[in-house]
Structure 1
Amino acid sequence: MRLSRFYQMLEHEFGAGQGRMLVQDTVLGELGHRTPEQALNQGEDPKTVWFALCKNQDVPRERWWGPDMEPKR
């Protein structure tokens, strides 16, 4: 996943304002107790960050791939 896709999906799922806040302020144990922003800035794969954020926010699994993508089988 590219970083641009991460931010598209973030905005679609949470809205621009809330999405920005989640990326900056949510500390995720799954990411080594870093925020998504810190993890991305330190080179973490955007897909790993996205899935960790989805789990933390209880996003239903069927929406983890965004509005126009299905998981590859």
Structure 2
Amino acid sequence: MRLTDFWNRMHRHFGEAYAESWARDYVIAGLGGRTVEQALADGVAAKQVWHAVCQVVEVDARLR
């Protein structure tokens, strides 16, 4: 998954403004206790981060 696809999905699910805030502030255990932004900065693949997001929030099946 490309990073642009990841952010498109985040924006579609959370909305334009809230996606960045959520990615910056919400800590996900499945990412080693990191936020989305921290995990991406540490080199975790966007696809792996997206799967972790899908584990903690109810994401529309079309976006999974």
Query: TM (normalized to structure 1)?
Result: 0.79
Provide the identity percentage: 38
Name the structure with the higher helix share.
Answer: 2
Deviating 4+ runs (over 4 angstroms): none
CA distance in 1, matches of 2:55, 2:4: 20
Secondary structure of the residue that 2:48 maps to in structure 1?
A: helix
Q: Normalized per residue, which structure has more strand? A: 2
Tell me the number of residue pairs that the alignment of Structure 1 and Structure 2 aligns. Answer: 64
Deviations 1:15-70 (A, max 9, x none): 0111111110010000000000000001001011111112211224x1343xxxxx
Instruction: Mark the runs of 5 or more structure 2 residues left unpaired by the alignment.
Output: none
Higher relative contact order (CA closer than 8 Å, sequence separation 6+)? 2
Partner of 1:5: 5
Tell me which structure has the larger Cα radius of gyration: 1
